[in-house]
Chain A
């Protein structure tokens, strides 16, 4: 079964956008590998002919009318903004600044 190196743990943390301390990374390396060991049990089962179950109730294609309806007032939505400018959320620049 797969096992995670320190570099793997750092890569997954980057994918998950989690800034972790060296202590956290070291602890997670041990804990994640211990949990992955539990996953190995699933290899005992032959599931080639088994369909996957992503959800358990037989509801399909739940549709609604494509009708415009009211949304929350901007003031209420923006009340939770960490940083705002008028009716806008302030975010860090995502394009190069030069």
Chain B
């Protein structure tokens, strides 16, 4: 029986592509076939573009053949992602392709140009398989707010994958793609990575250009990678990072080449921990958190200490104010960004009312979903006359305090902070839909990092009652190389752990062509 290529990690694919043992076309075909065959019960994808992907794979194979003929230096010059499949969250523009952002208001819209990161992925030779499901306009923590129906978690198909980049996380966890791109405004990469048992990173604000990516909250949004191990996620971050003058917040800071040079040896990786200094913020162990999550995080901290790192309890005293601050700043920015959806130039449009105002109201009222309307209302209110100082300006000042909390610790010499990514494991469909504030609390441990503009990464650290738990490393601005080293070191130090051998437990069910869809499961009482 032929080997299943979808079980390979991206760096294993890269080695085999160079050795001529596999072609990019074979990799693309294997992943497309698996994605088509297994997505009824998962709904991780909003579109798969087989023709485009196979054409990109053939082009990658042609470049590989030319490089192989030219000699080892030409092969070495290829990016580690050359010929490797990747998925994009459906808010990244690919010229001529759909870009719904999970919303009815962008149904039928075709992107007229490539996002910066789409260009960068093409330059690297990566093969884009398609677009993944998400909470509408990236507003949500469960993927249940997608206008096109929810995504399920491959660990338990009755549970959410997290959000908003739920499709990107679930597709990687279900071996439909080795890599995917997400965006993270308050935790939308790290939280689904934690809930799906994979690696996900939010880089420093300014590391990756947002040009061509649907905007949610412009002072918080960042683009980042998902992978099944740290090296894969790091290589994808390397491919998409760097200055782009079309996003004036993208910083002229060199992309560290260390991102593609993380140690392959687990022991060598783990040895990096000796003499490092980690802080464990006590406020991140919030009241009501899953006891299994807390236990796994404490065990992970003990692994770091046993590997020669110093670990100290620290305080981020304004953590408790993060939620309220975030839910003023993010909706305020969203209400401005989403003003462009007026049905005039593109997207969903309702016409024929008595005047232009009636058409705006009808277009936006019918095009946006409940959560997006809630956030637009919150943001509009927070910015409206008489409330600006009390809400928005106050939140920006508290944001300063939140950022200073982190600055104090990093100035004191901590290499990174270690914390839970999410206070919960994956929750059941519907559990947090009735109360927006409960849903918002899913991001209590991730959104302060966005408020401060810092990089954060979630890596798997074990299971709680059979469901994955994510360990979060938070570093100073522009410390991606060290943060990925730390994450790789933890991965190396736990390489032999039993839980690393456990596959998502509902994977096999996805092979059933008659399986219930996530929308059907979500509608069923439990």
Q: Chain A: residues with CB nearer than 8 A to chain B?
A: 2, 4, 8-9, 12-13, 15-21, 24, 28, 31-32, 34-35, 38-42, 44-45, 47, 50-57, 59, 62, 64, 72, 76-77, 79-83, 89, 91-94
Contacts and interface: CB of A to CB of B under 8 A. Distances in A.
B366 to A, nearest CB: 7
B320 A47 contact: no
B346 A82 contact: yes
B264 interface: no
A80 B369 CA distance: 21
Interface string B245-270: 10011010000000000000000000
A4 B437 CA distance: 17
A59 B248 contact: yes
B502 interface: no
A32 B112 contact: no
A59 B251 CA distance: 7
B55 interface: no
A18 B401 CA distance: 34
Given A50-B397, A52-B397, 18 more contacts: A9-B377, A12-B377, A12-B380, A16-B335, A35-B436, A38-B323, A41-B320, A42-B321, A45-B401, A50-B400, A56-B452, A57-B249, A57-B251, A76-B112, A80-B346, A81-B346, A82-B344, A89-B344
Contacts of B335: 16
The 5 closest A-B pairs by CB, nearest first: A56-B453, A19-B365, A19-B361, A52-B396, A82-B349
6 contacts: A15-B384, A18-B373, A28-B374, A79-B112, A83-B349, A94-B356
Interface stretch (B71-79, B134-142, B386-394): B386-394
A39 B344 contact: no
A55 B267 CA distance: 40
Given A59-B248, A89-B344, A32 B391 contact: no
Of A40, A57, A77, A89, the most chain B CB neighbours within 10 A belong to A57
Contacts of A47: 394, 397-398, 401
B403 A13 contact: no
Interface stretch (B117-125, B179-187, B324-332): B324-332
Nearest to B204: A57
Contacts of A82: 343-344, 346-347, 349, 351
Given A42-B324, A89-B345, A16 B477 contact: no
B361 A55 contact: no
A1 B394 CA distance: 13
A62 B401 CA distance: 26
Given A38-B327, A41-B320, A72-B113, A56 B349 contact: no
Interface residues of B, number: 73
B315 interface: no
A39 B328 contact: yes
A80 B345 contact: yes
Contacts of A51: 397, 400
Contact of A2 (B323, B361, B390, B436): B390
B205 interface: yes
Nearest to A63: B248
B364 interface: yes
Interface string B334-353: 01000100111111010101
B399 A91 contact: no
Contact of A16 (B362, B377, B387, B396): B377
Contacts of B376: 16, 18
A55 B398 contact: no
A59 B387 contact: no
B181 to A, nearest CB: 21
A50 B405 CA distance: 13
A38 B347 CA distance: 35
A82 B351 CA distance: 9
B218 to A, nearest CB: 9
B112 A72 contact: yes
Contacts of B356: 91-94
A46 to B, nearest CB: 10
A64 B245 contact: yes
B445 interface: no
A69 to B, nearest CB: 11
A56 B219 contact: yes
A41 B321 CA distance: 7
Contacts of B251: 57, 59
Given A47-B401, A92-B359, A15 B396 contact: no
Contacts of A83: 349, 351
A46 B365 CA distance: 39
B219 A52 contact: no
Contact of A59 (B206, B347, B394): B206
Nearest to B113: A72
A11 to B, nearest CB: 8
A52 B327 contact: no
Nearest to A44: B321
Contacts of B453: 55-57
A62 B246 CA distance: 11
A74 to B, nearest CB: 11
